[in-house]
Amino acid sequence: MMKKQLTACIIDDEQHGRDYVALLLENEFPEVEVVFQGASVEEAYSYLIKTTPDILFLDIQLGDSNVFELLSMFKEIESEIIFITAYENFAIQAIKNGATDYLLKPIKKLDFIVAVNKALENIKKNTVLPVNNTQYDKISLPTLQGFKLVNISEIIRCEADSNYTTFYFTDKTKITVCKTLLEFEAFLAEYNFFRIHHKYLINLAQLKEYIKGKGGQVIMNDNSVLDVSVRRKNEFLQKLQVRD
Can you list the domains of the chain with their CATH numbers? 6-126 (3.40.50.2300), 131-240 (2.40.50.1020)
Q: What pLDDT was estimated at residue 130?
A: 55
Q: What pLDDT was estimated at residue 96?
A: 67
| 97 in Cβ contact with 105 (< 8 Å) | no
Over residues 24-38, the mean pLDDT reads 92
Confidence of residue 2 (pLDDT cuts 50, 70, 90): very low
Distance from C-alpha of 236 to C-alpha of 196, rounded to nearest angstrom: 7
Quick one: which of 196, 129, 119 has its CA closest to 157?
196
> Which residues, including other chains, have CB under 8 Å from residue 116's CB and lie 6 or more apart?
25, 28, 29, 32, 55, 82
Q: What pLDDT was estimated at residue 135?
A: 45
Beta strands 193-195; 6-11: pairing state: unpaired
Q: What pLDDT was estimated at residue 128?
A: 61
- Treating both helix axes as pointing N-terminal to C-terminal, what angle do 15-28 and 109-126 enclose, rounded to 10 degrees? 70
pLDDT over 70 percentage in the chain: 89
Q: What pLDDT was estimated at residue 71?
A: 85
| 141 in Cβ contact with 169 (< 8 Å) | no
Please provide the average confidence, as pLDDT, over all residues in the chain: 86
